Amino acid sequence: MARAADASQLRTRPEDAEIDLEGLVGYNLKRAYVVVSSDFRRALGEDGFAPRQFSALSLIVQFPEIIQSELARKLGIERSGLVSIVDDLEGRGLVSRMPVPGDRRVQALTPTKDGRSAYLNARDVVRAHEAALLSDLAPEEVETLIGLLQKIRKTEA
Amino acid sequence: MARAADASQLRTRPEDAEIDLEGLVGYNLKRAYVVVSSDFRRALGEDGFAPRQFSALSLIVQFPEIIQSELARKLGIERSGLVSIVDDLEGRGLVSRMPVPGDRRVQALTPTKDGRSAYLNARDVVRAHEAALLSDLAPEEVETLIGLLQKIRKTEA
DNA sequence: AATAATTGTTTACTAGGTTAACAATCTGTC
DNA sequence: GACAGATTGTTAACCTAGTAAACAATTATT
């Protein structure tokens, strides 16, 4: 009966430990995202865009007149969660909610002139932040990383 | 004076758009983490471990008698944030806070017998969840991914 | 015309943290 | 040994980024 206890001891010996947390993709993803998003906020400054406002604005610039539910779908969040993001962007005068002729339920989102230029500016800052933060990685490593992350994203329901 | 406007138009034409969000490491990290952590929770069930309880328990099993501030440091969170995690694990009878002779400020964290076996069990479930979720990636791709993520983590302050 | 679905929104809630303050305790210096 | 300063675990208040459920307005389906 000491045998079972011994087996349990063996499985927790130091040599096994190293393959635990550090070998998990999820743990490394989380920790790496904390590093990147902290640096993102630092780079964009006190009253700059948070990651989610930046992502939303980027898609609104890319797909002008996108409706809110479609934008939420693209971002992978609920419609209700998008409301405060759009409220914020609209409050800063960067985005307009516009009625769509033919369907009075929906709101089309369009960047204002300010919104477009604020986005282009922020985009450059974000690119610089990533270039600096990832300067230890070769360009092809960054490509590989993005490719692998997109492969994981595609496994989504 | 139409020239500046034209330049701005050019920068937002569709051909440029594709390289925006999808080309950013931060955006892809976040989206990939959402996929992995959702599946983690699904795999561990309703009253199973959340990612952070699992990580904490893993380190407590790996480093028995670790003190709370050292564990917080390893997890990359504040001491105050660790309290509720340890409260939860202690409440489930998986971890004990033990006094340390020689320093009455600190609490050493040790897994109980139940804690050790709950961890080993959860670890197997987590490994199975990752193996299934990442079945589109070759083993060496997973290795590469983890290596790149750790490279990013090391750039932390 | 009636029923069902969709859209944007609000409200209440949750997870997973942070910051600041605190008492208890320990460390270093005089 | 006394005393200033640092460290530990903890609480309290707060914040970010969401989700889930309900709702009125509107549109689509039968």
Q: What is the pLDDT of residues A96-151, one digit of tens each?
A: 999 999 999 999 999 999 999 999 999 999 999 999 999 999 999 999 999 999 99
| Segment holding A122, helix H or strand E | helix A113-133
CA nearest neighbour of B89 among B109, B104, B62: B109
Mean pLDDT of chain A, nearest integer: 90
What's the Å distance between residue A109 CA and nucleotide D2 C1'? Answer: 69
Q: Please, what is the Cα angle at B37 between B20 and B140, to 5 degrees?
A: 75
Nearest nucleotide (C1') to alpha carbon of A73 = C7
Please report the beta strands in A1-145, taking only residues with DSSP state E, as ranges in sequence order: 66-67, 95-100, 103-111
For B20-72, write each residue's pLDDT tens digit: 899 999 999 999 999 999 999 999 988 899 999 999 999 999 999 999 999 99
Say if the Cβ atoms of B27 and A151 lie within 8 Å: no
Q: How far is CA A20 from the centre of its chain?
A: 26
| Strand partners of residue B98 | B108
Query: Which is nearest to A35 in space by CA: B76, B156, B147, B37?
Result: B156
Distance CA B116, CA A9 (A): 10
Nearest neighbour of A153 by CB, restricted to B24, B32, B151: B32
Number of domains in chain A: 1
Strand C positions with any atom < 7 Å from protein CB? 6-12, 15-21, 24-27
pLDDT (0 to 100) of residue B157: 62
- The answer to whether residue A11 scores a pLDDT higher than 80 is no
Q: How far apart are CA B60 and CA B107, in angstroms?
A: 12
How far A155 CA sits from the closest chain B CA (Å)? 7
pLDDT of residue A93: 97
Residues in chain A within 8 Å Cβ distance of B25: 36, 130, 134, 142, 145-146, 149
Q: How far is B123 from chain A (nearest CA, A)?
A: 8
Do the chains contact at B40 and A31, CB–CB below 8 Å?
no
Q: Rounded CA gap, A117 and A125, in Å?
A: 13
Contacts A134 to B, Cβ<8 Å: 25, 152, 155
Q: Is the CB atom of residue A114 positioned under 7 angstroms from any atom of strand D?
A: no
Nucleic acid strand C within 7 Å of A85 CB: no
Residue of B nearest to A132 (CA): B155
Higher pLDDT, A6 or B95: B95
Domain that holds residue A49: 2-153
Task: For residue B108, give the CATH number of its domain.
Answer: 1.10.10.10
CB of A74 under 7 A from strand D? Answer: no
Beta strands across the sheet bearing B103-111 = B66-67, B103-111, B95-100
- DSSP alpha helix (H) spans, chain B: 2-11, 14-17, 25-44, 51-62, 68-75, 79-91, 113-133, 139-153
Give B67-109 pLDDT, tens digit per residue.
999 999 999 999 999 999 999 999 999 999 999 999 999 999 9
So what's the pLDDT on residue A2? 39
C23 C1' – B94 CA distance, angstroms?
28
CB contact under 8 A, B29 and A29: yes
Interchain pair A152, B35: CB under 8 A: yes
pLDDT of residue A157: 64
Distance separating alpha carbons of residues B20 and B45, to the nearest angstrom: 36
Search chain B and give the residue with CA nearest A14.
Answer: B62
* Residue B4 backbone phi and psi in degrees, to 5: -65, -40
Between A2-16, A39-53, B30-44, B74-88, the lowest mean confidence (pLDDT) is in: A2-16
Task: Give the confidence band of A46 by pLDDT, cuts at 50, 70, 90.
Answer: confident
